[in-house]
A and B are shown apart, each in its own frame.
Chain A
Amino acid sequence: MPLEPLKFSTDAADIILTRIRFRANPMAVRSALEYARQSWHGAGVDPGICSTGEQVLAEVLNNVVEHAQAGRPEGQIELDTRLGNDGVICAVRDDGAEMPDQQLPLGKLHDLTMTLNDLPEGGFGWYIIHTLTKDLCYERKNGWNRLEFRITQDHDPLP
């Protein structure tokens, strides 16, 4: 199945940074992140955007492995990143289960005024994704999930 065109990327001047397909397991995610990091740095992407991008992509890809593709190590993930004039545009596609209600999960920060034993050990991922990205959108089409977002410098709350 060919890669679909990016929703935001209509500009022919966009530079393709990564276009890869890999299996849905944690070690493959590590390799994909390493590959993306090198290609972004190699293309001269701003170091802050590189660092934020790696954080966000890690959260997105972990979610795919742990939820959409849970128990399906043969499941596929595609990562497409491009350098536009306003930061990096990222698209992640996978052929796993759809999001609950075909909706993006809300990224809410936990109330931390609680006792030690009630401290959250998870659920930070979507909060990080929502906080560090711009134009986050989700679509389910032909049995594939597609998440798309931008990483821009001016959108980082803690640069």
Chain B
Amino acid sequence: MPNSGHTSDEVARRGEELYERSVRALVEPENDGRFLALDVESGDYELADEALAASRRLRERRPGAVAYLVRVGRSAAFRIGGKRLRSEHAPRS
């Protein structure tokens, strides 16, 4: 997807499937709790203890890459307690 500022459902699904199919088994459980930024096109990824670091390292290697940011070993990278929000692009499951 071009760098449009918005992730299409198709790109998001591709990234999530790529992680499940090709990456998860390589990084779990040794890296549980760390952040992983996955380039949804090339499959390259970077691991770091901080989300920002993983994302930046991937962008240094792959400028313009669309990243899927994962917290290894968890289904979601972040917890958000806010009660008034939803994601930017509904609908989501």
Partners in one complex: no
Residues of A within 8 A of B (CB): none
